[in-house]
């Protein structure tokens, strides 16, 4: 496994690059906007191709690199299903697997620092975000934090084998890695007998808000641009309008999601499965989508929320497929048109930005 730990000294954030080899697919956890050039240079140097950028939670202390990395690499942006961030093109839940070629991370929902906090486990290492830090834990006093939920999340992490390496999202003292066993014994926040005492300990911290909070949180909530731009160019169908396309002989509905997302959330009847990861091959000459377009079909992409499909429309248009369209808001919007709720907010679906 290719593994790099990168540091942003301004926010004391650790970001992690993971890859195996073969085609060079890579994933990054908790990228920082100011360091995007550095990540891209590293990708180039190691001959890697960024396919997924993941945030463990909505950060309050730095601006995420997710939006910029998506713009530069067309990678899939990933957060938990609780996330309201509009940049997110793929949402994951507890028990899911986060995969790239040759690597698979177990997805653990570990709320408490925020209600959208996740940890990721692969082999002998766990990426704990701000849930478990080295000799500390993430604060629980804002962003829907909940010290009791965090206590339970920490107990869950502490059940991992003692030798599991702990890679947190931050360290303010210069430590880079710890182990579960080490944290169980020496982390002062973990020397409490129950959730009540943990909660009391967290309540007594009285921390000032992070310096960047007023800037970072709103910026991190609104990173999505593609869908507006694609709609402006007339390349978008509302979910309601897309219902009229099902079964039409001159339309090819293309599902860009991964297999696990289709199994979890269902698919539009009659649609073809062509995962986003294979998009370039599929729109190139001789590829499935290229051939469908040549045969005169309108290509209508969709995904979970419309972010991946918006990028796919742009890529297909750039490749000369003038009929490429997408379903705005993706399956999430499609589902709001089901069961008599036809038209209700379908065209204008956006993840909530106000909370
Ligand atoms: Fe955080």
CA of 293 to the centre of ligand 1 (A): 45
Q: How far is the CA of 22 from the centre of ligand 1 (A)?
A: 34
Look at residue 332 and tell me whether its pLDDT is greater than 70: yes
Q: Which spans in the chain are helix H?
A: 36-45, 66-73, 147-158, 180-186, 195-203, 213-221, 226-232, 239-243, 259-265, 279-283, 288-294, 307-318, 330-336
> Which residue do the tokens 């860009």 mark?
256
Question: What pLDDT does residue 339 have?
Answer: 60
Nearest-CA neighbor of 153 among 105, 210, 198? 198
> Tokens representing 109?
């929902």
* CA 310–ligand 1 middle distance (angstroms): 29
Residue 210 confidence (pLDDT):
78
- What protein residues have CB closer than 5 angstroms to ion ligand 1? 130
Instruction: Summarize pLDDT for 209-251 with one digit per residue, the tens.
Output: 877 777 778 777 766 667 888 999 999 999 999 999 999 999 9
| Angstrom distance (rounded) from CA 199 to CA 137 | 12
CA of 170 to the centre of ligand 1 (A): 8
> Does 348 score more than 70 pLDDT?
no
- Expressed in angstroms and rounded, the spacing between residue 108 Cα and the centre of ligand 1 is 16
pLDDT in tens, 14-33: 999 999 988 999 999 999 99
Q: How far is the CA of 106 from the centre of ligand 1 (A)?
A: 20
Most confident by average pLDDT, 49-53, 308-312, 344-348? 49-53
The proportion of the chain whose per-residue pLDDT surpasses 90, expressed as a percent, equals: 79
The model's pTM is 0.82
CA of 60 to the centre of ligand 1 (A): 6
d(CA 14, CA 205): 23
Tens digit of each residue's pLDDT (9 = 90 or more) over 105-141? 999 999 999 999 999 999 999 999 999 999 999 999 9
Task: Output DSSP code: residue 32.
Answer: B
Average the pLDDT over 302-315 and give the result: 92
User: What's residue 270's pLDDT?
Assistant: 94
Residue for token pair 């339970």: 152
Average pLDDT, the chain: 91
């Amino acid at each position: 496994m290719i593994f790099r730990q990168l540091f942003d000294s301004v926010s004391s954030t650790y970001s992690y690059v993971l890859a195996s080899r073969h085609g060079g697919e890579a994933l990054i956890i908790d990228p920082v906007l100011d360091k995007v050039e550095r990540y891209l240079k590293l990708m180039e140097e190691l001959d890697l191709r960024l396919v997924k950028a993941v945030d463990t939670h909505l950060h309050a202390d730095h601006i995420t690199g997710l939006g910029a990395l998506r713009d530069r690499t067309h990678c899939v942006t990933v957060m938990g299903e609780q996330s309201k961030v509009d940049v997110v093109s793929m949402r994951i839940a507890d028990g899911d697997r986060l995969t790239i070629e040759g690597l698979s991370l177990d997805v653990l929902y570990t709320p408490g620092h925020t209600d959208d906090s996740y940890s990721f486990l692969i082999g002998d290492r766990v990426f704990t975000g701000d849930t478990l830090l080295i000799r500390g834990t993430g604060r629980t006093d804002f962003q829907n934090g909940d010290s009791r939920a965090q206590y339970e999340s920490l107990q869950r992490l502490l059940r991992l084998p003692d030798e599991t390496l702990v890679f947190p999202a931050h360290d303010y003292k210069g430590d880079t890695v710890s182990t579960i066993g080490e944290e169980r014994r020496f982390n002062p926040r973990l020397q409490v007998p129950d959730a009540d005492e943990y909660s009391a300990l967290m309540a007594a911290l009285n921390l000032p808000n992070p310096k960047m909070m007023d800037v970072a949180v709103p910026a991190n909530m609104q990173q999505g641009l593609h869908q507006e731009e694609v709609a402006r160019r007339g390349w978008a169908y509302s979910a309601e309008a897309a219902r009229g396309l099902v079964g039409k002989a001159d339309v090819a509905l293309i599902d860009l999601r991964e297999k696990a997302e289709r199994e979890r959330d269902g698919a539009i009847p009659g649609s073809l499965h062509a995962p986003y990861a294979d998009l370039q091959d599929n729109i190139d000459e001789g590829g499935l989508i290229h051939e469908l377009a040549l045969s005169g079909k309108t290509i209508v992409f969709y995904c979970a929320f419309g972010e991946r499909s918006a990028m796919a429309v742009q890529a297909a248009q750039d490749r000369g497929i003038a009929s490429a369209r997408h379903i705005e808001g993706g399956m999430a919007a499609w589902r709001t048109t089901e069961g008599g709720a036809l038209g209700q907010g379908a065209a204008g679906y956006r993840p909530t930005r106000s909370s």
